[in-house]
Structure 1
Amino acid sequence: MTHKTNLLGVFLLFATCLATPHEACAEAIPVVLDRVESGWQLTRGGEPYFIQGAGGKGPKAQLAASGANTFRTWGVGDDLQEQLDEAQELGLTVVVGHWLGHERHGFDYGDSAAVQEQFDRVKKDVLQYKDHPAVLLWGIGNEMEGFAGGDNPAIWDHVQSLAAMIKELDPHHPTMTVTADIGGARVKSVHELCPDIDIMGINSYGGLPSIPRRYRELGGTKPILITEFGPRGVWEIEKTSFGAPPELTSTQKAQVYVDAYTAGCLDVPELCLGGFAFTWGFKMEATSTWFGMFLPNGDKLASVDAMTEVWSGSPPANLCPEIRNFALKGPDVVQPGDQVEVQLDIVDPEGAPVQVNWEIRNEATTYITGGDAQAVPLALDEVIQESSTTGAVLKMPGGGVYRLYLIASDGDGGGATASVPIKVDGEPDPAPIRLPLALYQDGHPQPWAPSGWMGGISSISLDLDSKVNPRSGETCIEVVY
């Protein structure tokens, strides 16, 4: 009788797994944060775990192949289950972010109803995903303290209440909150007002090399995780005489990733638990190439090669084209109708022929967006008169600020980018837009940014990367009502 009962139990368990595999049968892998003699140690399943990661929507299979072990999300979307499952299949883990409202977006931490709704949402998401084996830890908010002093106690009280709730529901995964660098009252607030936050996540770019020193000087004792790093932000550099940010080439940026990450994280393993390169994908922010580690068509840039060597110990077999020189030949402020020359020296490390594409676009009207969505300015026609792998010749249109982009490819998945801003004095006389203009096209940036929802939206869903019956290409925009 006992034997029959056990068989029945196995059958019922198997049936339950088939019906609800993720909720009923998933088993969390315990992640523990310990204070050891040498500093802080993160373990997963009993084994030391140093986070080698990136954040962004780029290909996760390529992330795993590059030697990384983790990626992060900024919030919980409808695709989180799919992301966790993919991570598990690839041997990756996920730092699951819970997006918290920003005051600059209108969220009021003095509104008890809004705060409770946010609390309930996070609780629901933790309960739903806490047992997935790919979950590594929880990220509570991302720069929700804003870009000023970061000293609103109402925000930190809410972060603490969420951390305490998560610890009660899930003892297997540490908690983290993420701030915009560590200036103002950020370190003090996290340490004094958030005792249930285990890890201080820090988004830092130009300031990353000095993070360990500054953090300790501010009294920081919790372990840190570098949750975003990359080239210096536009807010950290000197501008041209007309206020435009000069941009490094993709070749130059690759070394910045390595140097900053080494100084700000790898050199202090007793304090830093790892980091996330930004952004594993394409993103328009100030320029269309500033932070992206990939091009819209999927080609990787040199920052991927650089981080692959950091993560795996070896460079990839196929390296991206190397830009040895990219420069204006003459001033960056000219008159309408003037001829402008740009010099280029680019080679492929494996000797492959390099293909180049030159584009000129109106300059972005806003450089500092706080990470918010930004439309890619439209490409212009009749400006580029000559172009090749050694440079380009332009005949400048009417007054305004423009940016010339170089996009290169080795034909085997490797790319390179460079850009330069140019100001034209005089009356505006816009150049024609390059046609045809695609509102949505695979492998190309969108010339618009979704601005948000209006009215009753409970019956509407939007997928910007749907693969359901696209008319052309692999994806399309799907709206369901």
Structure 2
Amino acid sequence: MLPPRPVMRGFAVLTHVFPIACLIMSLSSPVSPAAVAAPAVQPSSKVALERRADGQWQLLRNGRPFVINGVGGQRHLELLVQMGGNSFRTWGADDLDHKGPNGKSLLDQARELDLAVTIGIWLQHERHGFNYSDPAQLEKQREYVRGLVRRYRNEPSLLVWGLGNEMEGPTADGRDTRIWKELQVLAQIIKQEDPNHPVMTVIAGAGGAKVKALMENYTAIDILGVNAYGSAAGVGKALQEAGWQKPFVLTEFGPVGAWEVRHTSWNAPIEQSSQEKAANYYSTQKMVMEDSHGTCIGSYAFVWGNKQETTSTWYGMFAPTGEKMPSIDAMSYAWTGKWPENRSPRIRKFTTDLREAIVKPGQPFTGLLEATDAEKDTLTVEWTVVAESTDRREGGDDEAVPPSIPGCITRSEGLAVAGVAPTKTGPYRLFATVRDGKGGASIDNVPFLVK
């Protein structure tokens, strides 16, 4: 998938997905190696892989064992440290110089917080128009990679090079050997320029045919990154069955994917509740680390921010308005064995006559929540009716945010709501956002159809 891009508004941090052209550095006008090259100096960090006597793999960061407790995303970094995280990954290097609200670049913040960074090197996808059979395009991309490595190879916070993300295509079987053979060339370029940091490439899922084709054509890879959702806890077993013997990182995981869940009769995917998502994050983190036969060296939870993908809440670990969700509490507990000082509120039950219902235009409805807060904070609820997304994309590509429908909520009192369905026919969702007033929130939704 692709990551969200941040927009700063006042004191709230909202994140959205911008078009691909904004997300990656276009190779139609790449930065030349000379423009980005840094002087050759002694490395400021050294990261190595080691296989212990018991057969387990481990990362050594400046000589010390390092297990990745990471997230995908690059905002709220102080909170990441407070929650027990020690690393984050980017999908492309164009974000590294981005100035945060404190005026400091992403790498400045990483150094100050002692966060290790998997620096993503964005490689082009054929579904976006790139041609892996065109020598001119390949050469341009190779020079881009070389220049980028020269620029950042002495960065103290650099942990691993993230060479590409799902270039084989999120639904492809990986049998197109052009991709793997080109990755072999690019990985060798990185190793020539920087022998002090491992190379990781991220694929979508741990399909056996894909992994075997990779192993046959891409031997220079050091670490395999795998993005997985419903099947995330079983990635270690799947890789073992495919014959993978090097270390791996679970580079994206979280809720069950929108393509993996039950759908309504009108084909709307049923989103997990915020409580179910939190349980998914925790159980996946524990199982993948404990049941991978020593090959998993860490993980990156997705996504440390918020993005529109199927819905505005499906994958975000933060609410659209910036509050942390229960999934963050779950990851903190998985990393540290302790809950954060202030836990997000929890929605225990969401009752409404709109749940997966087919209703008439303007038909009245009611809803009721059961919600609790560990610190007994006063809870408030915001109810919203939103149109179902009609802009579904592949692999996390940018999606348009569907509109909210005004006039549907007629009364909201405590944890109860009353309203009327939209007058225009079509699919919708009723969202309930519970906030504790101290930076925590939970958001659940139910789909319904006006017909």
If the length of structure 1 is used for normalisation, what is the TM-score? 0.81
Q: 1:192 aligns with which of 216, 227, 230?
A: 216
Counterpart of 2:3?
Answer: none
Counterpart of 1:99?
Answer: 122
Counterpart of 1:448?
Answer: none
Cα distance in 1 between the residues matched to 2:220 and 2:309: 34
Deviation at 1:164, TM superposition (A): 0.7
Change (3 A) 1:354 1:78: closer
Q: Is the 8 A contact 1:346 1:389 kept in 2?
A: no
Change (3 A) 1:78 1:226: closer
Cα distance in 1 between the residues matched to 2:41 and 2:53: 37
Deviation at 1:62, TM superposition (A): 0.9
Q: Does 1:32 align with 2:56?
A: no
Counterpart of 1:429?
Answer: none
Counterpart of 1:430?
Answer: none
Q: Unpaired runs of 5+ in structure 2?
A: 1-37, 99-104
Counterpart of 2:379?
Answer: 354
Change (3 A) 1:421 1:391: same
Deviation at 1:116, TM superposition (A): 1.0
Cα distance in 1 between the residues matched to 2:363 and 2:271: 23
Give the secondary-structure state (helix, strand or coil) at the position aligned to 1:185.
helix
Give the secondary-structure state (helix, strand or coil) at the position aligned to 2:259.
helix
Q: Which amino acid aligns with 1:411?
A: G
- Deviation by residue 1:106-128 (Cα, 9 ceiling, x = unmatched): 11101111111111111100000
**Counterparts of 1:290-369 in structure 2 under 5 Å?**
290-329=314-353, 332-369=357-394
Cα distance in 1 between the residues matched to 2:388 and 2:52: 51
Q: Which amino acid aligns with 1:28?
A: S
- Deviation by residue 1:75-124 (Cα, 9 ceiling, x = unmatched): 11053482222111101010011111111111110111111111111110
Q: Which amino acid aligns with 2:409?
A: I
Deviation at 1:168, TM superposition (A): 1.2
Bigger mean CA deviation after superposition, 364-373 or 284-293 = 364-373
Give the secondary-structure state (helix, strand or coil) at the position aligned to 2:292.
coil
**Counterparts of 1:69-218 in structure 2 under 5 Å?**
69-77=86-94, 79-80=96-97, 82-146=105-169, 147-183=171-207, 185-218=209-242
Q: Is the 8 A contact 1:27 1:131 kept in 2?
A: yes
Deviation at 1:64, TM superposition (A): 1.3
Q: Is the 8 A contact 2:326 2:343 kept in 1?
A: yes
Identity of aligned residues (%): 41
Change (3 A) 1:415 1:59: same
Cα distance in 1 between the residues matched to 2:310 and 2:208: 25
- Deviation by residue 1:7-46 (Cα, 9 ceiling, x = unmatched): xxxxxxxxxxxxxxx8687842110101222221211111
Cα distance in 1 between the residues matched to 2:257 and 2:308: 13
Change (3 A) 1:149 1:37: same
Q: Which amino acid aligns with 2:385?
A: I
Cα distance in 2 between the residues matched to 1:311 and 1:280: 15
Deviation at 1:369, TM superposition (A): 3.1
Counterpart of 1:240?
Answer: 264
Q: Unpaired runs of 5+ in structure 1?
A: 1-21, 426-481
What count of residue pairs does the alignment treat as equivalent?
A: 405
Counterpart of 1:471?
Answer: none
Deviation at 1:336, TM superposition (A): 1.3
Deviation at 1:59, TM superposition (A): 0.9
Q: Which amino acid aligns with 2:45?
A: I
Cα distance in 2 between the residues matched to 1:347 and 1:232: 24
If the length of structure 2 is used for normalisation, what is the TM-score? 0.86
Which is higher, the Rg of structure 1 or of structure 2? 1
Q: Which amino acid aligns with 2:234?
A: S
Q: Is the 8 A contact 1:235 1:368 kept in 2?
A: no
Q: Which amino acid aligns with 1:358?
A: W
Deviation at 1:200, TM superposition (A): 0.6
Q: 1:407 aligns with which of 433, 446, 449?
A: 433
Q: Does 1:391 align with 2:408?
A: no
Bigger mean CA deviation after superposition, 384-393 or 110-119 = 384-393
